Each structure stands twice: as C-alpha cells, then as structure tokens.
Structure 1
Amino acid sequence: MMDLYQEAVHYLESQHVPVETETDVLEEDVFHEEAVSCLLSPLQVESIDLPDTPTSCSPEEMLEKRLVVLKGILESEELYLRELEALLMPMKALWASAGTSQPVLSSQQVQIVFYQVPELRDMHQTFYSSLKTRLSGHCQTDPGPGEERQMKHTGHELMVGDLFLKMVNQIGLYGGFIENYEKAVEVVRMCTQSEPRFRTLAESMMFNNGADKARTKYTFEALLYKPLDRVTKTTLVLRDLLKTTPEEHGDYATLQEALRLSRSFLSGVNESSQCKREVMLSHGMRRKLMRDGFVVDVSEGERSLRHLFLYTDLLLCTRVKQATRGKQDQYRFCWYLPLAALKVRWVADQEKSDHTHLRLHALRTKMFILRQQLQQQAKGARGLYLSRSRKKLEQMELMLLTLSPVYRLELHSLSGKSHTLLFTSLYELEEWREAIHQLTTENIETVPPDLLTLTSACVKLRMTQQPPLQSSNIGESLCGTLSVAIHSACELQQPSCVYVCVEVDGYQFYDTQAQTHSSVHTLNPHWDQELSFQVDGAQNLRVLCVGQSDGQDDTVLGKSTLTLESKSLTQRWRRQTLQLGQVKVTLSLKYNPHPSEAPSCTAQQRPVFCVHIETVSQQEGVLVPHVVRCCVQEVERRGMDEVGIYRISGTASEISTLKAAFNTNLREAVTRLRSAEVNAVSGVLKLYFRELPRPLIPTELFQSLATALDIPDIKSRSVSLLSLLQSCPAANRHTFLYILHHLQRVSKKEDINKMSLMNLATVFGPSLIRPPVAGLGHNGPSVDISQEVVVQVQVVFWYLQCNNLPEAQISVAHDTDTDTDDETTHM
C-alpha cells in the first residue's frame, strides 16, 4: 500500500507547495512579526503623546484619508486570506490519511487543529470580495478636469459600513477558535515531536507573500497563531475607519455599532482568558514581568513617551491612555519583540542640534519660573490654582523627558524588525541592557502572546506607575553646586581607552550629566578632571566606567550609585573610591549649597588657547592643562619612534581643527587626537605654548635666568636655577616640569627619532621662555637681541640635562579633609 505520508507530500506538491525534509530551525518561525506589521500598516497606533490632542481637518481631507485606510484594510485582508489558505492546504491530505491504518493525525486531532479555520476563511473571503468590489467601483478612474466635485460626492456615497457590521456579527466564530487554540497548539507540538511525517509537514509551510510571487516559510504553529493575532486588531480597524469618517456620513452610525459589538466581543474574550496572563513557557517557567519603565520610542523620526514592559520572553511597548478621575488607566499596544535571538546595542551620546538646545533651554526656563512661583504662592494660593500649576509643571517635565534623551538603545529581532529607544541616563540604559542580556542568554522559547490580554494586564502588572517626574519626589536633596573630581581607575581586566560618566538627578533645569575625556590605552587610566553640576533636588550620584575599543561599540565596565547627603558633604574636598563591578574609580566630592539660579543657555566650554595658563588651570581644576597632558600622552603612545617628532610640522589644517576642538569640546578633541597625524598632535602642543599670552616661565625671570647661566660654579648654578623655577606660579611650574620630563623620555629614543636634548631645547626654548618686551617698564638691564635665543635654548637645555628635577604635580589636592581616610564604597 502506498505510504500515506508520501501521498500527503505529493498532494502538497500538486498544489505548488514545496515540501522540504530538513528539520532545522526555520528562519520564519512562530515569532515572525512581518505579517503582523503588514496587518497593522493601515492601522498604526497613534503617535500623539500624553495627553491626547485631537487633530482637525476638513471633511474632504477625512474622506481622502478614509479611502487610504480602506485600501490598507483590503491589502491586509488579502494577506490574511493567503495565510489562511496556506494553513488549510494540508487539511485534505491529513483527513484522507486519518481513515487509514497509518494516519499522520487521527480524525479527532485533525478536527482540533483546523477547528473553525475553514469558516473563518469563508467569512473573510466574502468580506474581502465585497469590499474589493465597492472600492473598485469607486476608484475606476482618476478624476479629470471638472470631475473633482463628482469625486467628492462619490466619497460620501461610498458605503461600506454594512460590510463591516455583517463581518462583526459573525465574529463569534473567533470565539470558538480562541477557546480551541491552546488545544490545537498542544496537538501540533506533540505530533511535531512524536511523528516525523507531521514534523516535516509542520515545518515546511509556505504561502505566497504578494504580487512578486515570493514564498515565505512558516511553521505550522506560526500560521495557526495568525487568526488569534488578527481578531485583536478588529477594534483598531474599526476605530481608525471611524476616525476618518465624517459624522454626517451615512456609514458613521453603522460603523459605531460595529465598533461597539467588536469591543463587546473582545471584552468577553478578555474576561474568559484571564488565565492566559501566566503563560507556561518551555522549561516549566511561567511568563513573568521582570522590569518596566518609561522610555522614548523613536519611529520615523518622531519621539513618543512609551511604557516598556520586559517579560521573561518578550519586550512589550505600550502607550498609556490616562483615564479620567475615578476610572482606570488603559494601555494600548504599540509593538512587541520576542527576546529569542534579539540583538541589542547602545550608541554613545549624540550631539543635539542648536535648535534642540534652544528649545530645551526655553522649556527649562519656563519650568524654573513656574516652580519658583509655586514655592512663593504655596501658602496663599487657592487649591485649584496650585493644582493647575502643578499639572502644567508635570506636562512640561513630560515634554522635557521626551526631548532631552540622547542615548540610543537599538533592538534588532531575528525577523529583521528593529526599534530604537532613547534614554537621558546612560545608567538607566545599561540597566535595561543588562536585564535584556541576562534573559537572552538563557534558552528562550516565546509563546505567541495574546496581545489583547497581555496589554490589558499591564494595568495590574506594572511596577512603575508614573513617568519619573522630579516634581513628585519628596525628601532631603541638594541645592547648589556639586563638584566631582575624577582621579583614576584601577583593576581593569585589560588595557583600554576608558572614560567616566557621572550623572545626578533632581529637577532638569540644568545639565545633569558630564563625562571625562577618554584615557590613553592603559591598565591604570588617570584623568584628574573636575566636573561641576548645578543641582536642585539632587539625591543620587551615578558613576559609570566605560571602555572604548577601535571599531567596536563602547562597553560599560561597571557602574555604581552614591546617595548624596548634605551632612556628609562640605565645601572641602572629600576623597573616596567607588567599586564599580570589577573596576575601582577614585574621585573626590565637594558641595557648596546656595539658592538655585535660573538656567543659563547650555554652557559652552571655555577656550584654552590664547588664555593665561593660570585661568585654564583654575577652570579645569588642575595644575597641568588637559590639552598639554592629552597631547603628551598621545605622542608617547605612538610618536616616540617618529623621526623628527616636534621638529617636523604637521598639516596646518589638521592642527587648526584640533585647536578648535580643544576650545569647544574636550571629549571631541581627545577623540580626534586618537586618529590625527602624530606630527599634528605635536604641532598642537607647540602651538599651545606659543599662543600663551604670558610665557610658561614669567618674563620677569628672564634676566635672572640669563645671569644664573653665567655662574661658573656648577653647584651654585644648579641651586640658583632650581630656586628660580620654584618661584614660578604653581600651574606654570608644574606644567614646565611635566613637559621637561616628557622631553627627557623622548630623547631616550634619540637613536630612533633623532631628537637629542639640544634639538628639543632648540624647538621648545623660544616658546617656553621669552625675553621682556622693550618699553613695557621691565626692570634690569636689557639683553642683547642676538643673545635672546641663546638664553632661551640654553636655559631649557640645562633643565633637560638636570637629573634631579622635581616631579610634576598634575592636579590640585582634592583630599583636604585630612580627618577622613580614603574610603571605598562597594556597590
């Protein structure tokens, strides 16, 4: 007797359905969302954020939109019918084999698997044919000259409400399918595991994916889920169609009734399927909510505040519909992504446009003024006024939450579906990334969600009730200036370029985040960089250590949170070490309380070139300016073997670009420095010293240095020159010592780079030491111009030859609280 399995395969092939024998995991599986997105294409959930703001348009514009919606519905119906046909394709062969001695499925199992599917196909086929006929009659020809009025009239005459009402009156068929769905899936899974013939069949379903005749591969279970997914969209279809139908249109009342019936049916389904909220996954685990919170979702360039829910097997993005008083909030479905094979990456901070900066500044200023008014009028104002003002402040905060985020979390599913989320806080983004990564590393099997039930359950399951509005926070907080000096890090697992990101909370009137520049590639990075925050309502400090690798994404190496208590912070620096995972970061804090001030427009970094070194030192909180240290570190990283380093000039345009970057954005400058020509880096360093308004060695010491060089006794000469160096201001002295030690290290590779101590003294002498300018009232005899260059070079050459130069101190002392030892905070 002929093998019944082969008969089934032959039947499928006769219907032009290829059957493949491999049993590998299929690319198009039960979690594929492309079809879902196609179903939703004409029915997009509103992108308007909280609260709703109704749009207004003319009846003619509404009718045009209505026609677009109807065409989209027709396209999605056509796709859905192809999916149902693909699902029903093997039914005849399976019924035929059920009556034999070797059935693939028993007749009872066939009935369970295909229960109500033929009826659903017939119902939608009738609806599709009728809708297509009416739309075809309406859109046969484009309007010619003089026909515009007739087309508008035809738009009013196009009646489809009765078709939708007829379909909704038969929607009860879905009730039977939904009740039977879990049994059908159980049969499919059981037979897929136990029956090889059915497994080959179940994993080789195909359907025609459109006019291009491309075929898409699905599992049996994936197609079986399609009706369940489709019925949850019925209300959305009718709601969108009703929104584009003028109230005076003949369809309006009919569509309203269809929408009421649809909602009533889905409400009944929801009540009868409460048990589905805890869906059993593979490995005996139930679907649970692991984390939720408010994020900014980016779609087609538009930002919207969304409530994101992370379950054990999927991410669900919803839109909150805030209810009126006495009623419950509602959640509307936006999108979901299964965690199986989900790829996650985050992108470092993105620069805001000037327009966005101005908009944020205006918003922050309005918030600040409104809050000041609330505080002043809190005692005398009426309750209604205060309530309205607080509500207005909350709405401004919501807008700020939507506009200000700059960190991108990109999500890419196996099916090619992608979404982008934005965060203001890198710390919060990393928490989401860690939570998703922990779940995706496990053996995940996603059960297709009942989106209606799952979305409705969000009201009860949510852990985060409201967006993170600072205006609702109560408790002790800081108001004033918080300074954070980042010193160094240690215990890295491997050499890296590392930077530290610091975040504070509180009202968003001021910038709440700052970062150090990136260190050189090392195991023990040092920054000694001071970050300053204007705070109002700050309670927590968050610190993250981030590693950078060439050609790879940044990686958060560790993070920690520190509670800010005014009683433990003073106007004197307090030094401590934070344990950030496996990395230790040493920092110092000080706090100067004062009344909050109106936010200034986003402060730009003060320039460093052509500025007195004492000023740069003071504004950076260091003794050796960052531009000097960064250039020296970069030269020592990759320029020590460069022939003629400091003698051969770099490209003028590249030096000019780096100079501009250091004057505006230190982090960007250091990033550019990493890839710049090394001679351009050395050129920037020489340019910085040349453009100092006053030389590194004060001009009033020039005559004394020249005299000291003439002292015959070597010991006396040494004492005199070192004493003159000690008389220099602190920033000048330590920067001079820092550059001298660097040049000594360069000269140790003289056999390679051809830069002797004399060569280096010749290059740097005229920049570091300058004679007094005649006529400016300097004291002492003038020096012969012919001897000036000799003195400049010989002084630097002598210091470079000195073997007992003091070490340079890079930063000011940040640990002046000598009563307290350096403490380590473990998080």
Structure 2
Amino acid sequence: MNVYQEALSYLESHHAAAGGEGLEDVFHEEAVSCFLSPLCSESIDFPDTPTSCSREEMLEKRLVVLRGILESEEVYLRELDALLAPMKALRASAGTSQPVLSSQQVQTVFYQIPELKDIHQSFYSGLKARLGSHTPPDVDSGQETVTSCSNSELEMGDLFLKLVNHLGLYGGFIENYEKAVEVVRKCTQANPLFRTLAETLYINGADKARTACTLEALLYKPLDRVTKTTLVLRDLLKTTPVEHKDYAALQEALRLSQSFLSGVNESSQSKREVTLTHGMRRQLMRDGFVVDASEGVRSLRHFFLYTDLLLCTRFKHAGRGKQDQYRFSWYLPLAGLRTRWVADHEQPPDTTVRLLTLRTKMFLLRQQLQQNPKGTRGLTWTARNRKKLEQMELLLLTHSPVYRLDLHSPSDKSHTLFFSSLYELEEWRDAIHKLTTGNIETIPPDLLTLTSACVKLRMTQQPHLHSSVAAEDGKLLCGTVSVAIHSASGLQEPACVYVCVEVDGYEFYDKRAQTHSSVRSLNPLWDQELSFLVDGAQKMMVLCVSQSDGEEAVLGKTTVQLDSTSLSCRWRRQTLQVGQLEVTLSLKYCPHPLEAPGAPIQQPPVFCVPIEKVAQQEGVLVPHVVRCCVEEVERRGMDEVGIYRISGTATDICSLKAVFNTNLREAVTRLRSAEVNTVSGVLKLYFRELPEPLVPSDLFQSLAKTLDIQDMNSRLVSMLSLLQSSPDVSRNTFLYLMHHLQRVAKRQDVNKMTLMNLATVFGPSLLRPPAAGLEHNGVTVDISQEVVIQVQVVFSFLQSNNLPEAQTSLPYGSDTEEETTHM
C-alpha cells in the first residue's frame, strides 16, 4: 500500500474526507508537487476540491450523526438489559440455602451496571425526544429548506455534557472489571448451574431477533462503549458549525471525555488483555504508530507490543455499521529478539530537497489558516485546508524519521523501524528489552484472533498530528529556544558521552540537535550551545548517550516542560536528573515571528577565521577545536615520544581540518580514532592559520622588552599584566594552552618534550611581530631575533607556577537567574 492509500484509509477512518474523489484530488496534487517538483515560490493556493459541504449540508450531516448515535444507544441499552437479566434471580438465590452466587459475588459481577443503564436510558430518552420531530427531508416536496432551518436550532450539547459528567461511574466499573471477570470464570468452572446461565444469555434485536452472548462478553460492552465516547463526540463536533449554540458545550464534553480516557488508558490494564487458547493470557504493553521499512518502502503502521511478541498491523476502515479491522503484516516473538539502533542523519540530497519543500508548504498553509481563525473565508475552505495540512503531515511523518531500530530474531527474521525521535525510539527499545530479558515461553499466536482483538485493545487511536490538535496558542512556544549544555556527573566508569536534545511542535524546522562526544571521563564537559526554531513547542527531551567501539547506548532520558511564562530571554541554569546522571544546562527562550523554513544552515568554518568570531559563533571563550584536540592529546598522547614535535600525515591533518570546518560532531568522532600525532598536528595548524596571532601583534615589542628583566618573578608579573590587556578569547585560549603544555612537560621523562622544546614548537605560531616586520612606531624588528623572542616569551610563560586559570565558557548564569533547579 502506498503512502496515498494509507493516508486515505486513515482519514476516511476518522471521517475527515468529504469523498473519495475529492481527497484523491487534493492528496495527489500535494504528493506530486511536494515530492516530485521543485518548490514554487508563488501562492500556496491549491486547486479547488469538489465538495458539497455548505452550511446546510453540514447541518444535515450533523443530523445523520445524531441519528446514528441514537441507534447506537438503543443497541447498547439492549445489551445492558441482557446483562442485567440474570441479576434479579441470582440476587434472590443468594439468600437461599443453595445459592448460585453469594451476595458479595453478585455485587461484584453487576457493580455499577444498573446505574450505567439509568444514565444511558435518560440520555437516550432525551435524544430521541429532540430528534422526534426531525424526519429526513423529502426533496420532491420542497421541505429541505424548512428542515435545515429547524436543524440549525436543534440543541443537544446539554445532553452530552450531562452524559460525560457521569463518566465517573465508568471509572468504578473499570476498576472492578477484572474482579467481575474473575468471579464469572471461577464460578463457570465450579458451578454447572451458573455455567449454563452465563453461556446462554440473549440480546433482543429491533426485529425481534435474538443474539446469543456469554456473560463475560456482555461485561466487556461497557468497557468498549466508554472508549468510543471521544470518537463519537469528535465526529459530532466536526459536523457542528463553529457558530452553533452546541459548539462550546460539545467542545467541553470532548475535553472531559479525553481527560477521562487518558486516565483510563494509563491505569486500566483490563482492556489490554486478550485470552487465547490453552488458558494463556497475553497482555498489551504498548501500541503506537511507527514507520516500518521492512519491505524496502517506508509505511506508517500500527504496532502492538504484547508480553511475548511484537505485532505489526495495517488499519482497515470498515463501512458504516461495521467494526474497524486491522490486517496482519508481520510479527516477531520477543524470545531472543536482538535490537540495535543507529542514526541515519545523512539523507539523499533529493529527499532532503523534497522534505524541505513539504515543510515550506505546510508552514505557508498553516499561516493561512492562522490568518483565518474564525472561518472568515468559509468553513468549507477551512475544513479542506486543514485536511490538506493533515495529509502533508502524514507524509512528513512517514519520510522524515532518521533514527533506525533494527530487529533480529533467532530465526534470522529481521525488520527495520524508523523513528523521528530518539526519545520515542528508546521508549520502544526499552519496553522490548524489559520483556526479552525474562524467560518467555513463545507460543505461536492465533493471528486471526490476535489481529481482530487490536480494535478493542488499542490505546492509541491515531497518529499524533499537530495539525489536528487544538491547543491554546498562548501556551505554546514560538521563536528560538537555546540550550547550553555544560557538564554531567554520576558516571560509574569513564565514558565518551554526548547529549541529545529534542523539542516537540510542528516539524517545520530541525527538532533535534546534539553535542559533540566528550573525551572519555567520569565528568564529561561540553559547554556547547544548541539552538532550535520552534513552532508550537511544549516540551523538551534530553538524553545522554555513551559511545564505545562504534556502539551507542542511551544512559538516561528525561522530559522538561517548556512554559512560556517561566522562560525568558535571560539564561536560566538548571540541573536535570537524566537516569543516574546529573546534567547541568542553561535555557533561554526568545519569542519572535517565524519565517518559512529554508535550507539547513551550514556550520561556519573555524580554520583561517579570527578566533573571536569562532568563539562568538560557538558561545564559548575557548574554541571547541582547541579544547577537543587538547583533551584527546591528554587522553592518549601524553606518553607519545616527540608529541607536538613529530607531525602526523599531511593528508590526514587536512582531512580533519576540512571536517572541523563543516561538522563539529563528525570531526570529534574522527578525532577519537585518528593517530595522535595527527591530532596534535591539527591543533598546531589551527594556531598557525589564524589571521591574527593568538597573542596580539601590538604586544610583540612590549613582551620582547620584558625579556630584559633579569628577575623572573618581576618579568612574569610584567608579562601577565600585558597579557591581561588582550581580548578575553585570546587570553583564555592562550592560558588554556599554556596549562596543557605544562602538563605535557611533566611527562618529559617519557615523551622527551621539555618546556623549551614545546616553546620552540609553539612560539612562532602564537606570537608574531606586526605586519611587514614593523613595530607601530616604525622601528624595524630584527628578523634574526624574531624567533628567539617568540620562543623566549612562550618559554617564560611556561615557567610560571602561578598562571591564572583559563575560563573556557561564557558565564551563562552571571547576568541571569542564578538559582539552580533540580528537575
């Protein structure tokens, strides 16, 4: 099934399509224009879609929905009647010497059911009375106008609000459901009289037909009914004009229903279980929509994770009056299942262009919808374009994910899933891992029974589409969110770690970013700033990931709520508990209007660029290229004979330089495996290619004069005083390097690199006379003495035992909120 057909099935299943032809026309245009053609910079106007959704016809559809609800209520009341039929006799026998069930058991089995019947009977009576005068119009008699007018005044919102306000009764029923089923099963096995009664109940039909049903099956009816309340209200709200008197009441009823069901889905395990053959009980642990690429083509599938297997299904919408179905795609037993995840960030250029085109069209279309909040351009136009936005988001949801989860079973079966979020991938991987670590006895499932049960077991009704979620825009973030990742602590053993940050909201822009990998240590340090353009963001996900021998593992994850009322343009420092680690970061938010998404911003180069500019781009005082090379040399090069004197291969150094200029994260990854003399060569090359030397040229002559001071302490005081006048970035980078070279020299017995040797290597790169060999006053610098001055100045600094400590990062909390919060 292609993407169009899947989107069509999904939208039809939620009554989003006005008709098959109209939907195909809209979607076909989008699929072709977004994925086969370059972006057109002209109007976002789409071709008109044949539709008959005028206000009058919308009201007629509303009337049809209401009649369908009435019919459904009538059927449900018959089912409750059948369920309650044996209650009176069982209660009477409980007081005899030979009771079928005890009084307590009768109360458990029929708990809250009479009350449920009363509220639904009241709802049904009120609904029937108000619909009684609304008969279908006779088009030949010219009564259509009269009926539509009467229909516009038909109010039902109070009935639905009253019904939803009694949903608490269902909460008690659900909590008691397992106990009731347990009593029924236990007594069915122990008491032949009760078994006969429990297996021979009948539901009376409207045509006097009778349908046989078991007591356990009837007990499931209320559970099934309450889960459909939200869908019914959503369908009714879609056919109710915004200006209708019922609209606000139905919106509130829908909100209450959704709130109730979300609590039910989290707390109730009863609706997640299905009984299979041999008395085995298979429980649903998790379900959701994930991209399946097992057949070489990406497809959005509904996955069900049971206690012993993972089931992949395709949703099949049934006709009116029939139940939706799921088609079996494949399944994998969890016993012995192996998982491995990787990030495929590099997408083919043509795919990148198509996704950018799709994001841009989505952004412009949503902008048009926001400029028409109350349907001033017509309800038909608004409904049609909201449907287009949903269709495009489904395409993006299918083709944009970059995190790949590979599944391998002992029987050599393999499947590949794709996720947009590493956080979501880790939730699925962790859930699977917990189930595979136990002793699972795999029993081949009855696939027909298992797939058929998906409709009633599912906890996720549809893919999460931001375009279909109504939220208060005032509470959503729209602008730039900046996150400065400082450090982490709590590792049990040294590791190379990076931090991945993700935000939610519309996928118009990149929603994920990550730091470079730290040097192997117990306390990783990054001081790296990440920025996100966000539209509709509400939360931020933070994950810590370790790297070892090409394998990556998530050490911990957490979620941070993004509240526009508590965030500001000033940095706020926080400490997050991420698994067993504590991550320190700073956060700020600057609201501003957003522009249409453009091509991904390329990282600016770092070589041959003034060091102040590089540091400003990175939001630090010591550039990452310097810190990463120094950390790597200290990790594995301190005992290397001739470190910094012996250079690496020129081609390897140039290759690493090129990567540093385009992708810091990739450069750090390559740095970890590069030959250590190549790493030291990259550091020397960086300083050598600076447009201006690290120590400003206008200090050259003054520093040279300090060499005439014989007393070493006095000389160092003068030199440090001159250094203090240099720019912050140059001064801190110079001090950072000096401390590093002093630590290298402490291993001179092994690496043979004394302070003088190191000063000889670095002096000419760090300190240079003014341009053309002239000092500012016009005095020519003796070229023969130039190298001597460069080496002696650096050597003097290296001899100091009291060098000030270097500050590597900007003080994110100094000019902002000082408090540190634990989250």
TM-score, with length taken from structure 1 = 0.65
Letter in 1 for 2:383: S
Report which stretch shifted further, 321-330 or 445-454.
Answer: 321-330
8 Å CA contact 1:661–1:669 kept in 2: the answer is yes
Q: Give runs of aligned pairs for residues 306-705 of structure 1, distance below 5 A.
A: 306-322=301-317, 329-379=324-374, 380-473=376-469, 474-475=471-472, 476-551=475-550, 553-705=551-703
Per the alignment, residue 8 of structure 2 pairs with 51
Q: In the aligned structure 2, how far is the partner of 1:456 from the partner of 1:668?
A: 47
Partner residue, 1:296: 291
SS state at 1:420 partner: strand
Q: Which residue of 2 aligns with 1:743?
A: 741
How many angstroms apart in 2 are the aligned matches of 1:761 and 1:738?
15
Match of 2:793 in 1: 795
**Alpha-carbon deviation of 1:45?**
10
Q: Distance in 2 between matches of 1:617 and 1:325?
A: 64
Cα shift at 1:455: 1.9
Displacement after TM superposition at 1:288 (Å): 1.6
Partners of 2:616 and 2:793 lie apart in 1 by 28
CA deviations 1:385-416 (Å, max 9, x no partner) are: 11111111111111111111111111112211
Unmatched 5+ residue regions in structure 1? Answer: 1-43, 56-274
Would the aligned equivalents of 1:281 and 1:287 in 2 still touch at CA under 8 Å?
A: no
- Inter-partner Cα distance in structure 2 for 1:385 and 1:331: 33
Deviation, 1:566, is 1.2
Letter in 2 for 1:589: L
Deviation at 1:775, TM superposition (A): 8.5
Measure, in 2, the Cα distance between the counterparts of 1:771 and 1:752: 34
CA distance in 2: counterparts of 1:563 and 1:308, whole angstroms? 27
CA separation of 1:281/1:768 partners in 2, compared to 1, >3 Å: closer, same or farther?
farther
Query: C-alpha distance in 2, partners of 1:457/1:618?
Result: 58
Checking the alignment, whether the CA contact within 8 Å between 1:277 and 1:454 is kept in structure 2 is no
Amino acid at match of 1:542: M
Q: What secondary structure sits across from 1:752 in the alignment?
A: helix
Contact 1:348 1:554 in 2 (8 A): no
Structure 2 counterparts to residues 143-162 of structure 1, below 5 A: none
In the alignment, what sits opposite 1:767? Answer: 765
Q: Distance in 1 between matches of 2:777 and 2:565?
A: 53
Q: CA deviation at 1:332?
A: 1.7
- DSSP 3-state at the match of 2:671: helix
> Take 1:571 and 1:325, find their aligned partners in 2: how far apart are those partners?
53
Deviations 1:77-127 (A, max 9, x none): xxxxxxxxxxxxxxxxxxxxxxxxxxxxxxxxxxxxxxxxxxxxxxxxxxx
Change (3 A) 1:362 1:324: farther
Contact 2:571-2:816 within 8 A present in 1 as well:
no
> Structure 1 residues 623 and 819, CA, compared in 2 at 3 Å: closer, same or farther?
closer
Report the secondary structure of 2:380's partner residue: helix
Read off the aligned partner of 1:505 and give its amino acid letter: D
CA positional deviation for 1:326: 7.9
Query: How far 1:301 sits from its partner (Å)?
Result: 2.6
Answer whether contact 1:747 1:755 (CA < 8 A) is retained: yes
Q: Would the alpha carbon gap of residues 281 and 637 (structure 1) be closer, same or farther in structure 2, given more than 3 Å must change?
A: farther
Contact 1:572–1:816 under 8 Å retained in 2? no
Separation in 2, partners of 1:46, 1:536: 26
SS in 2 for 1:571: coil
Q: Aligned partner of 2:358: which letter?
A: L
Task: Identify the residue that residue 786 of structure 1 maps to in structure 2.
Answer: 784
Secondary structure of the residue that 1:823 maps to in structure 2?
A: strand
Name the CA shift for 1:521/1:753 in 2 (closer, same or farther; >3 Å).
same
- Aligned amino acid, residue 459 of structure 1: V
Relative distance call for 1:733 and 1:466 in structure 2 (3 A) is same
TM-superposed deviation, 1:719: 2.1
Q: Which runs of 5+ in 2 are unaligned?
A: 10-19, 25-270
Task: Answer yes or no: is the 8 Å Cα contact 1:50–1:320 preserved in 2.
Answer: no
Contact 1:423 1:429 survives alignment (8 Å): yes
Q: 1:450, 1:47 → 2: CA distance? A: 31
Q: 1:325 to 1:612 in 2, by over 3 A?
A: farther
Contact 1:558–1:580 (8 Å) recurs in 2: yes
**Aligned length, in residue pairs:** 561
- 8 A Cα contact 2:272 2:285, kept in partner: no
C-alpha separation in 1, matches of 2:672 and 2:273: 52
RMSD of equivalent CA atoms = 2.3
CA offsets per residue over residues 734-788 of structure 1, 9 Å max, x none?
A: 1101110000011111111111111111111111111111388944533112221
Q: Residues of 1 paired with 2:772 and 2:338: CA distance?
A: 69
> How far apart in 2 are the matches of 1:358 and 1:50?
22
Q: 1:423 to 1:701 in 2, by over 3 A?
A: same
Quote how far apart the aligned CAs of 1:426 are.
0.5
Structure 1 contact 477–565 (Cα < 8 Å) conserved: yes
Equivalent residue of 2:275, what SS?
Answer: coil
Tell whether the 8 Å contact from 2:773 to 2:780 is kept in structure 1 after alignment.
Answer: no
Residues 323/700 of structure 1: CA separation in 2 closer, same or farther (3 Å cut): farther
Moved more, 784-793 or 609-618: 784-793
Name the SS of the counterpart of 2:505 in structure 1. Answer: coil
Q: Tell me the CA shift for residue 514 of structure 1.
A: 0.5
The whole-number CA distance in structure 2 between the counterparts of 1:479 and 1:327 is 43
Structure 1 residues 671 and 287: CA distance shift in structure 2, 3 A: same
State the shift of 1:707 in Å: 1.8
| In structure 1, C-alpha distance between the alignment counterparts of 2:821 and 2:341, rounded to whole Å | 32
For the residue of structure 1 that corresponds to 2:298, the secondary structure is strand
Query: In structure 1, what is the Cα distance between the partners aligned to 2:342 and 2:388?
Result: 33
Shift of 1:421: 0.3
Q: Residues 733 and 307 (structure 1 numbering): CA distance in 2 closer, same or farther, change over 3 Å?
A: same
Q: Is the 8 A contact 2:619 2:809 kept in 1?
A: yes
Amino acid corresponding to residue 366 of structure 1 in structure 2 = K
Partner of 1:217: none
The amino acid that maps onto 1:423 is F
TM value normalised by structure 2: 0.66
Equivalent runs, 1:705-716 vs 2, <5 Å: 705-716=703-714
Aligned to 2:14: none
Identity %: 71
AA in 1 matched with 2:463: P
- Greater mean alpha carbon deviation, residues 585-594 or residues 327-336: 327-336
Contact 1:281-1:447 within 8 A present in 2 as well: no
Counterpart for residue 758 of structure 1: 756
| Structure 1 residues 728 and 285: alpha-carbon distance in aligned structure 2, compared to 1, 3 A threshold | farther
Residues 195-229 of structure 1: CA deviation (Å, up to 9, x unaligned): xxxxxxxxxxxxxxxxxxxxxxxxxxxxxxxxxxx
The amino acid of 2:427's aligned partner reads E
**Deviation readout 1:584-609 (Å, 9 max, x if unpaired):** 11111011111112112012211111
- C-alpha contact 1:491 1:583 (8 A) present in aligned 2: yes
SS at 1:463 equivalent: coil
Offset, 1:451: 2.1
